[in-house]
C-alpha cells in the first residue's frame, strides 16, 4: 500500500483534529465527566456501488488509522450495507469494532441523536 505521509488529505486533517480533541478531553478529565478517547466512524452505504466507491480514499483511511491511530477506533457503524457486504476481510480485533446497522433509526443505539446529521 502506498505511503500517504507525503499527501495530506481532508480525511487525515479531520482524524488528526478529532484525535487531538479526544486527547485534550482526556487531559481535562474530571470525576463527573466520562472521557471519550476513541473515534466513531459512520459509513452510510445507501446507493453504494463498486463504481461509486472512492478506493484511494478508503485505502488512505485504512492506512492512516492503522499507522497513526491503531487503538483509536472505538466503533465503526456501517449503515445501509448491501447484503453481500460483510466484515470477513477484517482482522478479528477490528471486526469486533464494526457494527452493521439496518436503518438510521438504529444509529441512536450507538450515537446520541443530537450529534447526528439529518440524513
* Of the candidate ranges 31-35, 82-86, 90-94, 109-113, the one whose mean pLDDT is the lowest: 31-35
- What does the pLDDT look like over 16-73, one tens digit per residue? 676 666 655 554 555 555 656 788 888 888 887 778 777 787 777 777 777 777 777 8
| Residue located via cell numbers 448491501 | 82
CB 96 within 8 A of CB 43: no
Q: What is the model's pTM?
A: 0.65
Q: Please, what are the domains in the chain? A: 4-115 (3.40.525.10)
Note the Cα 66 to chain centre separation in Å. Answer: 12
- Beta-carbon contacts of 41 under 8 Å, excluding residues fewer than 6 positions away, are 73, 75, 76, 77
Residue 110 has pLDDT above 80, yes or no: yes
Strands 39-44 and 98-101: unpaired
1 pLDDT tier (thresholds 50, 70, 90): very low
| Residue located via cell numbers 443505539 | 109
> Which residues, in sequence order, are bridge partners of residue 78?
43, 100
Amino acid at each position: 500500500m502506498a505511503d500517504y505521509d507525503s499527501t495530506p488529505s481532508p480525511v487525515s486533517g479531520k482524524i488528526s483534529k478529532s484525535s487531538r480533541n479526544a486527547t485534550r478531553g482526556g487531559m481535562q478529565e474530571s470525576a463527573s465527566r466520562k472521557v471519550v478517547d476513541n473515534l466513531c466512524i459512520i459509513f452510510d452505504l445507501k446507493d453504494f456501488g463498486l463504481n461509486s466507491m472512492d478506493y484511494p480514499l478508503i485505502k488512505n483511511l485504512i492506512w492512516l488509522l492503522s499507522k497513526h491511530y491503531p487503538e483509536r477506533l472505538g466503533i465503526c457503524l456501517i449503515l445501509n450495507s448491501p447484503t453481500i457486504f460483510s466484515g470477513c476481510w477484517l482482522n478479528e480485533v477490528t471486526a469486533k469494532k464494526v457494527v452493521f446497522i439496518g436503518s438510521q433509526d438504529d444509529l441512536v443505539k450507538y450515537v446520541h441523536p443530537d450529534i447526528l446529521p439529518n440524513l
